[in-house]
């Protein structure tokens, strides 16, 4: 029996190399720190069903490679994302400085309405901090981002980051600001009970069925 | 918020090509292929074959490994395998299997079998050896990258990353080109064969001028461990066929490499190079097999090799994944100097004489360079080499297993999403190291000169095999 959910959101995890994107995802999905995390090549996936404001939401998370050279390829994965975690490393100014470029990519390639939460990761390494909470929150405010400092190591604020992003998207759906049926919204209805998807092709694929293979 | 019109405009615009990207991915518009869900399904429900035709072959990697008399480990192979090196046989097997698959499919679909198998790209054809072995009618498709995410504790040092398909029904008939299964061969016969194969290699290598063509033929089905280092050096073009010229060449190349180090390595903290060095520096500890690479001395060697290569090849520079390609060379070359029984993971580098380590470092650098010469377009801007290879994989799969291809398409799974890493890291993240090393025996011979150092075609066949058998 396949899991049921009210909505499916496509999420991205983006940011420079070595900021802990895969570890954040791993912590969110497995509830533990991934000690021997290898660098991501291309894209990896994870998903988890969460409860937000009385709704069941399946988060389908695309964890992208951070190295510059992969950018031309990873960009092709952005299309139709509803939410994104934009990650930098609080102990590396360099990763903070490239945030603007990542954000531009997300807004132009995914959707101008993409809901982005800025994550200052490696909060546990406070003694080595190079980016203050204050300046990052200012950046977040100026760019209309939500902001949290997270630690994939301790798990602090990791769940919150994903949930906060999901909650905001749900609110926007409720208020009509986001239309799930718009092409490329990054949002789908989960159950036939809620609403049938319009395209026959996707409707067919939505029904959990043994694929006969 | 923007007006509807403006939004449409935006989307309209972005349907067109974005610089550097080949295809868009509509992952969220339609229920996407859900790797986690899919693998749970796989695990919990033993698949009941839907048609008798499909029931034929399903095999795990270990099963394949144990059922084939290939040189997974040094010298395990036998003479029959040599025959497979003959192109004619390969082509025959490919064609025959392709016909059979087409026949089966058309029977299923109630259509007459096409008379002619579409001819794949010429370069694909001669090397399409693995698909016949496993063109099972298996329709299960699972990205290996998925197993990475879903299997929490999996590290690349895990010797059996493909084991999750174990719950699949076991195959009744796994044959590889009509060869006898190893169980039918007495172990003494096997070791005799091993010995005679090893002798053949030794003879070839000792000839005044090694017959490289003969060496390629012999190497196709695996190179025995004792002669692998020398054979790789010859096949990659690093060492000359002339036996007398080899020591001098080695010396010259080793000297040359250390001159590079002297010349360039201090510049790693200069502003122009610090990004490159920093990236290499943070990537190496995240590699595997950790035990070996985490030894500070080895880490330093990898850093030097990668940094020198990167700054001497500015068109691509250092790209993640290239670091993985150092490992097989280093391990193979260092193994020449360690006791047979010793596990490479437990090797303590500080016990190997410094001179030996230096030579291994230089040899690794040069052989890796030779390999990368043939695939540098994998790592240049927009990674055209990878894009092209993924396209070829797609093409090949669509021709030899249309249902799998359609299944992927129907679920909006793009080949680039799962096969990118297969190309970028030459499957090293998907296979245990000893299999990679065995695979590279064949990569080294898979294409005749001048593209001799381009493992492209065989690699794509291998990827096809991985896709269709996982």
Q: What is the DSSP string of A34-74?
A: -TTPPPP-SEEEEEEEEEETTEEEEEEEEEE--SGGGHHHH
Query: Per the annotation, does A122 bind a ligand?
Result: yes
Q: Which residue among A41, A44, A211 places its CB closest to the CB of B407?
A: A211
Which residues, other chains included, contact B432 with Cβ-Cβ below 8 Å and sequence gap of 6+? B158, B159, B160, B161
Q: What share of chain A is helix, strand, coil (3-state, %, to 5)?
A: 35, 25, 40
Residue B180: pLDDT over 70: no
Distance (Å) from the C-alpha of residue A42 to the closest C-alpha of chain B?
A: 6
Q: What is the mean pLDDT of residues B321-339?
A: 91
pLDDT of B59 reads 52
Which residue, B132, B130, B63, is CA-closest to B96? Answer: B132
B274 touches chain A (CB under 8 A): no
Reply yes or no on whether the pLDDT at B136 is more than 50: no
Contacts of B28 in chain A (CB under 8 A): 8-10, 60, 80-82, 185-188
Tell me, what's the pLDDT at B62?
Answer: 59
Instruction: Encode chain A (213 residues) as per-residue pLDDT tens digits.
Output: 457 899 999 999 999 999 999 999 999 999 999 988 889 999 999 999 999 989 999 999 999 999 999 999 999 999 989 999 999 999 999 999 999 999 999 999 998 899 999 999 999 999 999 999 999 999 999 999 999 999 999 999 999 999 999 999 999 999 999 888 887 788 888 864 455 444 444 444 444 444 444
B416 in contact with A at a CB cutoff of 8 Å? yes
Residues of A in contact with B40 (CB under 8 A): none
Here the tokens at position B110 are: 């109630």
- CA gyration radius for chain A? 17
Spell out the residues 6+ positions from residue A179 whose beta carbon is closer than 8 angstroms to its own. A173, A185
End-to-end CA distance of chain B: 46
Interface test with A, best of B31, B40, B165 (most A CBs within 10 A): B31
Per residue in B28-60, pLDDT tens?
Answer: 334 444 444 444 444 444 444 444 444 444 455
The number of beta carbons lying within 10 Å of the beta carbon of residue A190 is: 21
Looking up tokens 């061969």, which residue turns up?
B185
Q: Is residue B311 within 8 Å of residue B267, measured between CB atoms? A: yes
Residue-wise pLDDT tens digits, B298-313: 999 999 999 999 999 9
User: Hey, what domains does chain A have and what are their CATH numbers?
Assistant: 5-187 (3.40.50.300)
- Which of B 168-227 lie inside 8 A of A, CB atoms? none
Say what the pLDDT of residue B458 is.
Answer: 80
Contact A186 B420 (CB under 8 A): no
Beta-bridge partner residues of A58? A8, A49
Among candidates B31, B383, B420 on the partner chain, residue whose Cβ is nearest the Cβ of A202 = B31
Q: Does A65 touch chain B (CB under 8 A)?
A: yes
Residue among A8, A42, A45 minimizing CB distance to B149: A45
Q: How confident is the model at residue B101 (pLDDT cuts 50, 70, 90)?
A: low
- Asked if A34 reaches chain B (Cβ–Cβ under 8 Å), the answer is yes
User: Distance between CA A75 and CA A55 in Å, rounded?
Assistant: 30
C-alpha to C-alpha distance for A125 and A166, rounded to whole angstroms: 27
SS3 (DSSP) at A8? strand
Nearest chain B residue (CA) to A75: B21
Nearest to B21 among A72, A112, A213 (CB): A72
How far apart are alpha carbons B333 and B338 in whole angstroms? Answer: 10
pLDDT at residue B355, as a whole number? 93
Q: Are strands A115-121 and A83-89 parallel, antiparallel or unpaired?
A: parallel
Q: Is A182 in the B-facing interface, judged by CB distances under 8 Å?
A: yes
Taking an 8 Å cut-off on Cβ atoms, the answer to whether B425 and A41 are in contact is: yes
Residues 127-146 on A with a CB inside 8 Å of B are: none
Q: Are strands A43-52 and A187-189 parallel, antiparallel or unpaired?
A: unpaired
**Does B200 have pLDDT greater than 90?**
yes
B424–A41 C-beta distance less than 8 A = yes
Q: B382 and A73 in contact by Cβ < 8 A?
A: yes
H or E element at residue A100: helix A99-105
pLDDT score recorded for residue A132:
98
pLDDT of B350 strictly over 90: no
Residue B12, min C-alpha distance to chain A (Å): 11
State whether residue B286 sits within 8 Å of chain A by CB. Answer: yes
Q: Is A23 labelled as part of a ligand binding site?
A: yes
pLDDT for B116: 45
Instruction: Identify the bridge partners of residue A118 per DSSP, sorted by sequence position.
Output: A86, A147
Question: What kind and span of H or E run contains A187?
Answer: strand A187-189
Express each pLDDT in B224-242 by its tens digit.
999 999 999 999 999 999 9
Which residues does chain A have within 8 Å of residue B425's beta carbon, measured at their own beta carbons? Answer: 41
Q: B19 and chain A: CB distance < 8 Å anywhere?
A: yes
- pLDDT category at B273 given cuts 50, 70, 90 is very high
| Residues from chain A contacting residue B403 (CB–CB below 8 Å) | 213
Residue A191 annotated as binding site: no
Token digits of residue A126: 């406070």
**Which uninterrupted H or E stretch holds A188?**
strand A187-189
- The band of B10, judged by pLDDT with boundaries at 50, 70 and 90, is very low
From chain B, the residues in CB contact with A187 under 8 A are 28
For residue B361, pLDDT beyond 60: yes
Cα–Cα dist B8/A203, whole Å: 23
**CA end-to-end distance (rounded Å), chain A:** 17
User: B140 and A10 in contact by Cβ < 8 A?
Assistant: no
CB contact under 8 A, A76 and B26: no
Q: How does residue B177 score in pLDDT terms, banded at 50, 70 and 90?
A: very low
Sign of the dihedral through C-alpha B93, B98, B103, B108 = positive
Contact B120, B396 (CB under 8 A): yes
Is position A179 annotated in a ligand binding site?
no
Tell me which residue in A77, A199, A212 faces B25 most closely, judged by beta carbons: A77
Q: Are A180 and A173 in contact (CB under 8 A)?
A: yes
Closest residue by Cα to residue A28 from A6, A49, A53: A49
CB neighbours of B224 closer than 8 A, spacing ≥ 6?
A: B71, B74, B75, B194, B197, B198, B201
Determine contact, residues B149/B35, Cβ cutoff 8 Å. Answer: yes
SS (H, E, C) chain B: CCCHHHHHHHHHHHHCCCCCCCCCCCCCCCCCCCHHHHHHHHHHCCCCCCCHHHHCCCCCHHHHHHHCCCCCCCCCCCHHHHHHHCHHHHHHHHHHHHHHHHHHHHHHHCCCCCCCCCCCCCCCHHHCCHHHHHCCCCCCCCCHHHHHHHCCCCCCCCCCCCHHHHHCCCCCCCCCCCCCCHHHCCHHHHHHHHHHHHHHHHHHHHCCECCHHHHHHHHHCCCCHHHHHHHHHHHCCCCCCEHHHHHHHHHHHHHHHHHHHHHHHHHHHCHHHHHHHHHHHHHHHHCCCHHHHCCHHHHHHHHHHHHHHHHHCCCCCCCCCHHHHHHHHHHHHHHCCCCCCCCHHHCCHHHCCHHHHHHHHHHHHHHHHHHHHHHHHHCCCCCHHHHHHHHHHHHHHHHHCHHHHHHHHHCCCCHHHHHHHHHHCCCCCCCCHHHHHHHHHHHCCCCCCCCCCCCHHHHHHHHHHHHHHC
Q: Which of residues 91-110 of A touch B (CB under 8 A)?
A: 108-109
């Amino acid at each position: 029996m396949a899991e049921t959910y009210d909505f499916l959101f496509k999420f991205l995890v983006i940011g420079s190399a070595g900021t802990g994107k895969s570890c954040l995802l791993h912590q969110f999905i497995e509830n533990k720190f991934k000690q021997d995390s290898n660098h991501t090549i291309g894209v990896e996936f994870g998903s988890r069903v969460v409860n937000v404001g009385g709704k069941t939401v399946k988060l389908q998370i695309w964890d992208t490679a951070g190295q510059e050279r992969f950018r031309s390829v990873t960009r092709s994965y952005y299309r139709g994302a509803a939410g994104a975690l934009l990650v930098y490393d609080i102990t590396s100014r360099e990763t903070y400085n490239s945030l603007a470029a990542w954000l531009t990519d997300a807004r132009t390639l995914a959707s101008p309405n993409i809901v982005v939460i800025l994550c200052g990761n490696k909060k546990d390494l406070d003694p080595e901090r190079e980016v203050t909470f204050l300046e990052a929150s200012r950046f977040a405010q100026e760019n209309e981002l939500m902001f949290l400092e997270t630690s994939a190591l301790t798990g602090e604020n990791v769940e919150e980051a994903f949930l906060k992003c999901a909650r905001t998207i749900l609110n926007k759906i409720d208020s009509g600001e986001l239309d799930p049926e718009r092409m490329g919204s990054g949002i789908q209805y989960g159950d036939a009970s809620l609403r049938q998807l319009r395209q026959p092709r996707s409707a067919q694929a939505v029904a959990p069925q043994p694929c006969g293979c | 918020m923007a007006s509807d019109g403006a939004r449409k405009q935006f989307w309209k615009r972005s349907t067109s090509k974005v610089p550097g990207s080949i295809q868009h991915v509509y992952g969220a518009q339609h229920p996407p292929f859900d790797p986690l869900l899919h693998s749970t399904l796989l695990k919990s429900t033993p698949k009941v074959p839907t048609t008798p035709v499909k029931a034929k072959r399903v095999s795990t990697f270990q099963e394949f490994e144990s059922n084939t008399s290939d040189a997974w480990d040094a010298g395990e192979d036998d003479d029959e395998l040599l025959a497979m090196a003959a192109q004619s046989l390969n082509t025959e097997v490919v064609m025959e299997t392709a016909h059979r698959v087409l026949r089966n499919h058309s029977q299923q679909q109630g259509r007459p079998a096409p008379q002619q198998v579409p001819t794949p790209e010429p370069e694909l054809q001669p090397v399409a050896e693995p698909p016949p072995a496993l063109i099972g009618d298996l329709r299960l498709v699972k990205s290996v990258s998925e197993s990475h995410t879903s299997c929490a504790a999996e590290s690349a040092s895990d010797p059996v990353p493909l084991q999750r398909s174990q719950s699949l029904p076991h195959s009744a008939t796994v044959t590889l080109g009509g060869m006898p299964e190893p169980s039918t061969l007495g172990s003494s016969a096997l070791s005799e064969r091993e010995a005679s194969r090893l002798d053949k290699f030794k003879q070839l290598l000792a000839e005044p001028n090694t017959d490289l063509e003969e060496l390629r033929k012999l190497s196709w089905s695996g190179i025995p461990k004792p002669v692998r280092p020398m054979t790789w050096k010859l096949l990659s073009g690093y060492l000359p066929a002339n036996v007398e010229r080899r020591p001098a060449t080695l010396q010259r190349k080793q000297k040359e490499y250390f001159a590079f180090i002297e010349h360039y390595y201090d510049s790693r903290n200069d502003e122009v190079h610090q990004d490159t060095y920093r990236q290499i520096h943070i990537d190496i500890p995240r590699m595997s097999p950790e035990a070996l690479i985490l030894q500070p001395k080895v880490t330093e060697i990898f850093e030097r090799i990668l940094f020198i290569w990167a700054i001497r090849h500015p068109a691509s520079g250092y790209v993640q994944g290239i670091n993985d390609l150092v490992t097989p060379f280093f391990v193979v070359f260092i193994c020449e100097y360690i006791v047979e029984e010793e596990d490479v993971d437990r090797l303590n580098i500080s016990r190997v004489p410094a001179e030996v380590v230096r030579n291994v470092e230089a040899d690794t650098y040069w052989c890796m360079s030779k390999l990368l010469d043939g695939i540098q377009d994998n790592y240049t801007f927009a990674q055209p080499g990878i894009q092209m290879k993924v396209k070829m994989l797609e093409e090949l799969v669509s021709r030899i297993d249309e249902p799998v291809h359609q299944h992927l398409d129907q679920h909006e799974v793009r080949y680039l999403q799962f096969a990118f890493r297969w190309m970028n890291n030459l499957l090293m993240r998907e296979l245990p190291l000893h299999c990679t090393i065995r695979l590279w025996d064949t990569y080294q011979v898979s294409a005749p000169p001048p593209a001799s150092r381009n493992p492209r075609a065989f690699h794509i066949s291998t990827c096809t095999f991985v896709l269709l058998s996982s």
